[in-house]
Amino acid sequence: MIVTETMDEIKKDFTEEELKMLQEMETRPVVPDEDCPELTEEDFRRAYRAKDGRPLHMQKENETITLNVPSWVLGKAKALGKAADASFLSRVLENAMYDPKIIEESL
């Protein structure tokens, strides 16, 4: 069960002192320290997605292209219920590009 509350409802649970402290925090600047330094461009370049471990710098915008694929490939996609889902076929191709064995066999 999801419980939702408005900010006014949430504020009712705080003391006056806690509300004052929160208001003061809103005006303070963010100051990185040695335990939590500001991230650099290099940090972002080295970052990986938690979902699949792929480097973030490889997350580019998609390009639309036209491919000729054998009819059995689309038939297999239809059998999986994904024939109309271009993002499914895109993910299959993307996953194949990360597998050196598939790349080698496809050359």
pLDDT tens digits for 41-96?
888 777 766 666 666 666 666 778 888 888 888 888 888 876 567 778 888 888 88
Q: Which of 89, 98, 95, 96 is nearest to 66 (CA)?
A: 89
Between 101 and 55, the higher pLDDT residue: 101
Distances (CA, A) of 106 to 77, 86, 103: 20, 21, 5
pTM of the model: 0.42
Predicted confidence (pLDDT) per residue in 20-30, tens digit: 998 888 888 88
